[in-house]
């Protein structure tokens, strides 16, 4: 009670100072409204604390009120309480204090997904698949992913003790681990994907991302016949704006505008130019993007496209054209607030959602087609605003079947990989390792008797048909045909393990390779079956096509594949 009262006292003091300041400097109507509503809030929480039938937590109520208020703006304007400041620092710096491991929820327990290579977790012998039974003597059963994650993080140099249950071991294993500063690299893998093509997988834009890209690129140039570079931004949700500018600067001359920002306040209106000597302004570039490429990824891809410096391949990007700053608040809290929109060199803003106007259902609407405008790249190619970066070469995303995603989502692939790694101390290099038919049959034996059922879109449609037909009293007339269709589909699903064998093998390979070679090996192994990567390599070797794209003379042909009735099924899912 004493702690809650102290928090309440400080809260009222904060409001009192705020009100005094506003009275002194805000004679206008908007300032008066702010002052009035802060006064109402301070009075309200005071009365609640004095008269509400049960004890209240003023700090918790205030935090909920703040979060509800910010929800009416955009999803990027967030309140960061002191307890979450370290998480935010990780987003910007790529560093945090902890044991260095990915985790996931599996039933009542949290399980180690993967210890980072070279981390305290990996050095102490923790393995993927280890189930956390206790943390510092406290039972972990029933604790959520977030709860366990918070406990595992902490100041570097401090220790914690984990009691783990490992597949193949009869008794639990106890591990005492000293936390360290964990640095997550922005580039999990780079290398040559053929004799003349380099590849860089960029997963973030935290501090030093540009330096990492520069170093990787120079290493690829050193000793190789490098004639083209592929930068993979698929799944990259962005990060620091200045890192995107500096990465573009590796391939673009000094003094080029990469992005500008425009906000309500004059000091938010800035133009961000390249300021360093470039490394290579001539090498052909292809940037891979998808629907999860956002923010700084879009600055980099969009500026390369607008300056006609390279070709963008993949799917339309996310469409986040908003800039956030972090403002310190009282008691070590922070506010991440949207302060501007960013514009890439052609002058277009790629923000997809209009957060200033709500739709009729209470949500926010996309920029309507009628308001989308055309812009020109440096070479005169037409590009558009209103929703992400549209690739120069559109490539369909990878799709996996229901059965493959079910086996993945129920952790059968993960658990089999854990068992396999326990029984096999080593495997061939990541780029060489493959799932043989014998190993695949071992997996089939492993999952026999396990529940990996799923419903297809067709089954769900048939169930909906049954419901409506029953209501309208037509079902008796079609009952026999309905049962026949359901049985046919059930029989077809039994063949899915063979029909989608290649997909399941690929996902299983990723799980097993990660046990031995971590994130680097996972990326390297995935490149062996990557249609978009192959398309990028082909384009880089076709000088005429590459030049035609940048000159605006290439039109991507639309595939003309006749669709037959028997070809329509429920196999792939996004």
Tokens 């290649």 appear where? Answer: 502
Phi-psi map region of 570: left, alpha, beta (phi>0 left; psi -120 to 50 alpha): alpha
- Partnered with residue 336 across adjacent β-strands are 78, 326
Cβ atoms of 237 and 317 within 8 Å: the answer is: no
For residue 132, the cross-strand partners are 164
147 in Cβ contact with 547 (< 8 Å):
no
Residue for token pair 């008691």: 331
3-state secondary structure 434-490: CCCHHHHHHHHHHHCCCCCCCCCHHHHHHHHHHHHHHHCCCHHHHHHHHHHHHHHHH
**What are residue 37's DSSP bridge partners?**
none
Give the DSSP letter string of 220-249. Answer: HHTTS---EEEEE-TT---B-HHHHHHHHH
Measured CA distances, 200 to 41, 294, 305 (Å): 52, 17, 18
Site of tokens 């400080």? 10
d(CA 258, CA 307): 9
Long-range Cβ contacts of 260-265 (<8 Å, 24+ apart):
260/342, 260/343, 261/323, 261/340, 261/341, 261/342, 261/343, 262/340, 262/341, 262/342, 262/343, 263/323, 263/339, 263/340, 263/341, 264/339, 265/339
Which residues are identified as catalytic? 295, 306, 320
* Residue 383 · residue 391 · CB < 8 Å: no
Give the distance from CA 212 to its chain's centroid. 20
Nearest CA among 371, 290, 299, 308 for reference residue 574: 290
**Of 398, 399, 394, 313, nearest in space to 558 by CA:** 394
**How far, in Å, are 478, 529, 536, 542 from residue 430 at the CA level?**
53, 13, 22, 29
């Amino acid at each position: 009670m004493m702690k809650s009262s102290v928090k309440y006292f400080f809260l009222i003091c904060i409001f009192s100072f705020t009100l005094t300041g506003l009275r002194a400097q805000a004679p206008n109507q908007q300032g008066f409204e702010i002052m009035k509503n802060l006064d109402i809030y301070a009075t309200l929480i005071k009365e609640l604390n004095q008269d509400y039938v049960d004890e209240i937590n003023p700090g918790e109520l205030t935090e909920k009120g703040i979060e509800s208020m910010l929800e009416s703006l955009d999803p990027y304007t967030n309140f960061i309480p002191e307890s979450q400041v370290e998480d935010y620092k990780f987003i910007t710096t790529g560093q945090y204090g902890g044991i260095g491991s990915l985790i996931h929820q599996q039933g009542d327990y949290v399980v180690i997904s993967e210890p980072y290579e070279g981390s305290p977790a990996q050095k102490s012998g923790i393995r993927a698949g280890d189930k956390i039974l206790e943390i510092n003597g406290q039972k972990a059963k029933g604790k959520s992913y977030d709860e366990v994650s918070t406990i595992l993080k902490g100041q570097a140099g401090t220790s914690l003790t984990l009691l783990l249950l490992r597949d193949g071991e009869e008794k639990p294993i106890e591990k005492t681990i000293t936390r360290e500063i964990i640095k997550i690299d922005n580039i999990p893998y780079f290398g040559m994907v053929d004799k003349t093509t380099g590849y860089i997988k960029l997963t973030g834009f935290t501090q030093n991302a540009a330096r990492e890209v520069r170093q990787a690129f120079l290493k690829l140039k050193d000793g190789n016949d490098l004639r083209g570079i592929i930068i993979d931004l698929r799944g990259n949700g962005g990060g620091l704006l200045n890192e995107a500018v500096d990465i573009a600067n590796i391939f673009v001359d000094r003094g080029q505008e990469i992005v500008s920002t425009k906000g309500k306040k004059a000091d938010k209106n800035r133009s961000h130019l390249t300021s360093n000597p470039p490394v290579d302004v001539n090498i052909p570039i292809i940037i891979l993007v998808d629907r999860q490429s956002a923010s700084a990824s879009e600055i980099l891809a969009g500026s390369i496209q607008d300056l006609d410096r390279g070709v963008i391949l993949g799917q339309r990007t996310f469409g986040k054209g908003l800039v956030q700053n972090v403002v310190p608040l009282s008691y070590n809290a922070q506010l991440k607030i949207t302060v501007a929109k960013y514009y890439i060199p052609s002058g277009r803003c790629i923000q997809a959602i209009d957060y200033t106007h709500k739709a009729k259902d209470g949500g926010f609407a996309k920029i309507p087609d009628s308001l989308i405008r055309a812009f020109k790249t440096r070479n005169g190619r037409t590009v558009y605003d209103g929703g992400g970066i549209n690739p120069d070469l559109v490539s369909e995303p990878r799709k996996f079947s229901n059965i493959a995603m079910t086996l993945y989502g129920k952790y059968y692939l993960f658990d089999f990989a854990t068992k396999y790694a326990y029984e096999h101390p080593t495997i061939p290099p990541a780029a060489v390792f493959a799932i043989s038919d014998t190993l695949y049959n071992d997996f089939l034996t492993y999952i026999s008797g396990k529940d990996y059922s799923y419903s297809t879109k067709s089954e769900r449609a048939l169930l909906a048909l049954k419901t409506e037909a029953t209501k309208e009293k037509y079902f008796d007339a079609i009952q026999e045909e309905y049962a026949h269709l359901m049985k046919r589909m059930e029989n077809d699903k039994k063949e899915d393990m063979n029909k989608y064998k290649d997909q399941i093998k690929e996902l299983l390979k990723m799980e097993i390779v990660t046990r031995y070679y971590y994130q680097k090996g996972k990326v390297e192994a995935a490149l062996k079956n990557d249609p978009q990567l192959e398309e990028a390599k082909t384009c880089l070797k076709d000088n005429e096509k590459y030049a035609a794209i940048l000159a605006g003379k290439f039109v991507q042909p639309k595939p003309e594949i006749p669709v037959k009735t028997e070809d329509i099924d429920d196999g792939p899912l996004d």
